[in-house]
Structure 1
């Protein structure tokens, strides 16, 4: 007969407690190392020790969420992974507030709507064709609308002229208020295109990005890189027409409803089931597509997503990707 040995039980219990304590110390040390690396990579600094401790706790909580998500990704339960990025010391509420500020202004409708002249190819990659400029970082200024508009303009210059210029998002932030844009508090790509049609746009090097809205310093049209001749709308909510334009014309400015699920997007095909087609709050640039996804260029730097890019699942008008699409005409 098996007899309960209280001494053996106590020894075993103590060993388990010690093992768990060692594991906790190891996990804590690993988190500390990741915290240190995170601060160095993203040049984070805090006003006080109290704030740093608060941010560390938020970072630790987010790290646990990322690990849980990625465990589901490894099991095939999620279609995309997550990773630590510059938002890792932000709460979800802070991220939502940041997204709300990106909300586009009232869309200006064009008199011209896209009509396909030729069928789009099965796949398209404007990056491999050299028609997409480098990833930029809007920082804490909610100016995704200006980066989307500028990205589309930069791509059209390359496609139509073979030349490559980096254009000024800051000029649009500072100077296009009379067109309905709100600088670091949101705007729309079509309003930006209207401004460039009337005034032109300068080079990024001439009017560099500052991450805050300031006084308009545009005074001399002789310094502009180009004036556009307007823009073309894509039929609202038609992902088919979006793909036709993307496959034949070039990168397309789009707006989406960005949910907190995007905060730590790493790689894979983003597929947010609860994502609505309205309340669009983030401007992006569609730069290619495959059979099952559309590739989008973001303006959150190279440490977010797939080197600054994200893949959205196709054929769902996911997050309203086809609800407010347009491109500029040179």
Structure 2
């Protein structure tokens, strides 16, 4: 999965989007009411068979945009999109977008971000290992594909919409981190200067942390987690709790603007850390919680309708667990529950 797969909808209900174990479908689960019990899972988009690699993005309107690959004739693949307006309602059917090279096999895990006007922007690695993009038109349908260039790009990209409403996308290659950004809302993303660092592929996460900046989190090849904002130098934070990207959330803790990180640790449990937003010098440390999870489990963070931090984990066989912040100082969490 790529993106924020635990999402608070416009009506305040939380919804979780998880692929089936073989990746051939996507399931959605939603709260019956905000903070309440969860409804049974349902399949997203009808009977369309999918390939592994789900991307999820949330708009300011609370709508979820899902993008995945589907098989097409001749052992090829194409991208499809679905919109989910309310977590407890059925998502729309999967609709075809096409292929970044017009046709061919699956080329990489897609990434999706939703701009201030509610239009989804899709990014995916192309056959030549550059980055290709397309976005929704104002009145339905999708614009043509555009090549953002780049070379030797790793499979997983990260797309994010800043507080300004402008979309950014990040990628890694053997030379470091690549970034494309919109100079103004609705404009085509342009390339920024690359960041020459030794980055572990598949370790990127991005979080809007102010009106001016998005903070990118990544692990280096030695396993140290860093935070970076364009125009500055990467800041070493802490040893990564485990492999893969950290889940990130900006929220209020005890009245302070904080950034919360969560990651499956090397022990298999979920590790949490928090620090004042954009004040990395304050320091942070990991605290583990919950049961041990199998390898390749994913972790997500969200804020519920009452402003409480919610953490979720999903195992490769689809088991979903949740914990919620207790009414106590700091980041005290209740016992994990299977949904």
* TM-score interval for Structure 1 and Structure 2 normalised by the shorter chain: under 0.3
Between structure 1 and structure 2, the one with the greater Rg is: 1
Higher strand content, 1 or 2: 2
User: Larger relative CO (CA 8 A, sep 6+): 1 or 2?
Assistant: 1
Compute the TM-score of the two structures, normalised by the length of structure 2.
0.24
